[in-house]
A and B are shown apart, each in its own frame.
Chain A
């Protein structure tokens, strides 16, 4: 079965430090991977996606993610965290027809 997992429920980072939010996947065939961010009581905002091509994908708000086929990972990164980055982050894999299956979510907390 195709799935994604986010091993950390919460990540705490100091403002200005680099951040990483982890995601691993299990899919058959080539994965279509996504990262979304959710602020309290809001819908999801798209950050970036990997379909094919360069393993390092750049997205919205200065975020990037690295696709690693050998480790079946797609970690989200940002070189310098902002307090305003504090939110709930979801990794997702896309099935045929556009259906998205989400990971459990990771709560990112960036302290001043």
Chain B
């Protein structure tokens, strides 16, 4: 089936630094990628939608200057948390949606990465 990877799986950084998280579709072309944020034992909150070659669309309340999203190719999207602070500590998950008829046996069309645990000290 379609595979989405994220790198790094976990990162610890100092307050004020910037952190880049990569999301890659390994065996399909992802025309759309989504970035989610999840606090412990809570639901996923959609942060933004990115389409290859165009600016990301951010959800209400998400600061686009703080969470920079780039979707430069059909297999790679990056999320950069700028000037990170402890309150940005969270689990960040991306998902990718393929072009055309990318789907698995049960009709899944959106594939999730394994997540990145960000801890800001």
Interface residues of A (CB under 8 A from B): 36, 41-49, 51, 59-60, 88, 90, 97-105, 107
Interface residues of B (CB under 8 A from A): 4, 6, 32, 34, 41-44, 46, 49, 91, 93, 95, 97, 104, 106-115, 117
Query: CB-CB < 8 A to B91: which residues of A?
Result: 41
Query: CB-CB < 8 A to B113: which residues of A?
Result: 43
Would A101 and B114 count as touching, CB distance under 8 A? no
Q: How long is the Cα–Cα vector from A44 to B110 in the complex, in angstroms?
A: 10
Q: Which of B43, B97, B104, B109 contacts A105 (CB 8 A)?
A: B43
Interface residues of chain B: helix, strand, loop or mixed (majority): strand
Nearest opposing residue in chain A for B44, CB measure: A102
Would A42 and B115 count as touching, CB distance under 8 A? yes
Would A49 and B46 count as touching, CB distance under 8 A? no
Query: CB-CB < 8 A to A46: which residues of B?
Result: 104, 106, 108, 110-112
Q: How long is the Cα–Cα vector from A47 to B105 in the complex, in angstroms?
A: 11
A–B complex contacts, Cβ < 8 Å, 14 sampled: A41-B117, A43-B112, A43-B114, A43-B115, A44-B112, A47-B106, A49-B108, A51-B107, A59-B106, A98-B34, A98-B110, A100-B34, A102-B43, A105-B41
Query: CB-CB < 8 A to B109: which residues of A?
Result: 98
Q: How long is the Cα–Cα vector from A107 to B115 in the complex, in angstroms?
A: 19
Query: CB-CB < 8 A to A36: which residues of B?
Result: 112
Query: CB-CB < 8 A to B34: which residues of A?
Result: 98-100
> Which 7 A/B pairs are nearest by Cβ-Cβ distance?
A46-B108, A43-B112, A44-B112, A43-B114, A102-B43, A98-B97, A43-B115
Q: Which of B93, B104, B110 has the most CB of A within 10 A?
A: B110
Query: CB-CB < 8 A to A43: which residues of B?
Result: 4, 6, 93, 95, 112-115
